Amino acid sequence: MRLTVIGCGYVGLVTGACLAAAGHEVYCTDVDRKRIDQLQAGQVPIYEEHLAEVLERARAERKIFFTAEASEAIRAGEVIFICVGTPPRENGEADLSAIDRVARQIATEARSPKLVIEKSTVPALTGVQLVKALAAYSPPGGVKFSVASNPEFLREGTAVEDFFHPDRIVVGVGDGATASTLGEIYRPILERRFYCPVHAGLCPAGPPAEFLVTTINSAELIKHASNSFLALKISYANVIADLCERIGADVEEVTRAMGLDPRIGKEFLRAGLGFGGFCFPKDLQAFIHLSARVGVDFEILKAAERVNKQRIDRFFEKIHKALWVIKDKKIVVLGLAFKPDTDDIRFAPALEIIRKLLEEGAAVHATDPQAIGKAKLLFPAVCYHEDPYEALRGADAALLCTEWKAFREIDWERAGQTMARRLVIDGRDVYQRKAMQQLGFDYDSFGRP
């Protein structure tokens, strides 16, 4: 099938590349001409594991094309995936202006009927607005559009793996024909007919993904409800961690036992600095906003958000307790990205931590395997190091903010020899207190005695 992808952020690129790998012909476009130039030149503008390989293969097989001309991309595909950003406005509501702009482009440029699919994370009832917008912007006697919602559940860092091995594919549609078109698009994924870069073509057998056909309104709600529930789970684990500290219990023991109950599940119960990234914080806000707008008070989500914001304060309490005075101390931030295996620093806890450290007059040093370039633009006053051991030389304290493998594997005996003071505050509960203490470190983490 010929598909168009509008928006070449991580969702658009992964969607386009993986659907091309599944045998479709994909035409991608973006308003950012520089990004399209890079993609046309064979460069991958974001760090996402396996994406470069999938794109390379699709390009070689002439299954994926990039153009800065939206009209060209719109006319090429029978089905159009809208993958543009929906950033938060100041009041927390999602900014849908990019979707509106794209709807206008599609309505004016299309020369044949199109199925238009919302893939961007959008608040419920956007589909209804999209149908109206396409009709309003169409010239008299214009082509026919159908609309569907196909939320993505891709995690940054493992987005390619997630796309190829979904646990569910949700399609919100208004009619049976649209459901069958989406079924055709995803058939190669459901039947595993693609080259998998993660398992070198030999994916382990697993339960088949559920292909769920719902209404458009339900599909939109499923996305927000899922992300918000996961955020809620993390905040719940973080409150348990605080409680553990007060009563001398161990949050790892507690959450491990909780997670063994299949009704609870073991995922997303890791306590620490809380959630960041461009999805959970903004989706939570947008969901709270949407609920309020339709007269439902989603108090529980407001609490989850509050708990998450307080993680940084709790971390600073630990820093103050251990260091007493922060001013003029060399403090090393290990990890800038909001989570490992991505260069994305949007809403990363590390940013807020750096901001506060600088405010208090610390000499801030930082390291990250992928995100230094992006952080430099925000915090030019920070001293960046590629090598964590270099960063730690002469440090008064190390703060673990992102649990990259490289940081999990730090040889603290070696690092400790060059630090001014052996102090580690672990924001991701990665290291073992006993082992750190045996190496002569002052060590603190979340919720562990």
- Under the criterion CB under 6 A, does residue 315 sit at the interface with ligand UGA? no
**How many C-beta neighbours within 10 Å does residue 172 have?**
27
Q: How far apart, in whole angstroms, are the C-alpha atoms of residue 186 and residue 283?
A: 26
User: Which residue from 47, 280, 315, 443 is in contact with ligand UGA, where contact means CB under 6 A?
Assistant: 280
> Of 18, 196, 279, 401, which one is the catalytic site residue?
279
CB of 420 to ligand UGA, least distance (A): 29
Q: For ligand UGA, which stretch binds (CB under 6 A), given 95-103, 137-145, 272-280, 380-388?
A: 272-280
Residue 36 tokens read as 């399209």
Closest CA relative to residue 289, chosen from 302, 306, 276, 278: 302
- Under the criterion CB under 6 A, does residue 121 sit at the interface with ligand UGA? yes
Task: Please give the C-alpha separations between residue 31 and each of 67, 105, 205, 330, in angstroms, as whole numbers.
Answer: 10, 12, 40, 42
User: Which residue from 154, 171, 307, 345 is in contact with ligand UGA, where contact means CB under 6 A?
Assistant: 154
- Under the criterion CB under 6 A, does residue 156 sit at the interface with ligand UGA? yes
Question: Interaction with ligand UGA in 390-449: which residues (CB under 6 A)?
Answer: none
User: Which residue from 145, 163, 186, 275 is in contact with ligand UGA, where contact means CB under 6 A?
Assistant: 275
Closer of 232 and 382 to ligand UGA (Cβ): 232
Closest CA relative to residue 398, chosen from 438, 434, 360, 430: 430
E strand or H helix at 188:
helix 176-190
Per the annotation, the verdict on 279 as an active-site residue is yes
User: Which residue from 30, 152, 161, 252 is in contact with ligand UGA, where contact means CB under 6 A?
Assistant: 152
Please tell me what DSSP assigns to residue 294: T
- The CA angle 22-27-32, to the nearest 5 degrees, is 125
User: Which residue from 9, 166, 276, 388 is in contact with ligand UGA, where contact means CB under 6 A?
Assistant: 276
Residue 57 tokens read as 């293969």
Q: How far apart, in whole angstroms, are the C-alpha atoms of residue 178 and residue 172?
A: 9
Residue 141 tokens read as 């006697």
Closer of 16 and 272 to ligand UGA (Cβ): 272
Mask of contacts with ligand UGA, 327-346, x by CB under 6 A? Answer: -----------xx-------
- Under the criterion CB under 6 A, does residue 146 sit at the interface with ligand UGA? no
114, amino acid identity? K
Residues found near ligand UGA in the complex (CB under 6 A): 121, 152-156, 227, 230, 234, 268-270, 272, 274-277, 279-280, 283, 338-339
